[in-house]
Amino acid sequence: QVQLAESGGGLVKPGGSLRLSCAVSGFTFSDYYMSWIRQAPGKGLEWVSYISSTSTYTDYADSVKGRFTISRDNAKNSLYLQMSSLRAEDTAVYYCARGSGSSHHPFLTWGQGTLVTVSS
């Protein structure tokens, strides 16, 4: 079955960097757009970024543009989020999610999330 597993979260100081990973299985990874979505503690959902199936297209929320970079390795069935210049307001559970083959896609399947805490 379709599975997504995030890793790489943890405690980081303001201004620091962190790289999140999402390992997927159960579907042809290279056929799908993928996204990162986050949820601050006790808050709602915020879309962060997406990447197209062949990495040709990416898009970011204004709140992370210039600080976060999304990437993927289709040979390794893995999605990544490189986060830098981290701020306290980046503290959240980060979910990876599978889209579809189109740029306009809902989030079909979600991982269980990884917690990122930005604090001194």
Strand partners, 50: 35, 59
Which member of 20, 29, 107, 114 binds other proteins (CB under 8 A)? 107
Q: Give the angle subtended at the CA of 92 by the CAs of 113 and 25, to the nearest 5°.
A: 20
> What minimum distance in Å lies between the beta carbon of 102 and other proteins?
10
Q: How many CA within 13 A on the CB side of residue 83? A: 31
Binding status of residue 67 toward other proteins by CB under 8 A: no
Q: Give the angle subtended at the CA of 114 by the CAs of 112 and 116, to the nearest 5°.
A: 155
Binding status of residue 113 toward other proteins by CB under 8 A: yes
Nearer to other proteins, 15 or 26 (CB): 26
Residue pair 12/69 in contact (Cβ under 8 Å)? The answer is no
Binding status of residue 105 toward other proteins by CB under 8 A: yes
Listed ranges 10-18, 75-83, 84-92, 98-106: which one lies at the site for other proteins (CB under 8 A): 98-106
Strand partners, 94: 38, 114
Listed ranges 10-18, 22-30, 46-54, 76-84: which one lies at the site for other proteins (CB under 8 A): 46-54
Give the interface with other proteins as residue ranges (CB under 8 A): 44-47, 50, 59, 61-62, 95, 104-113
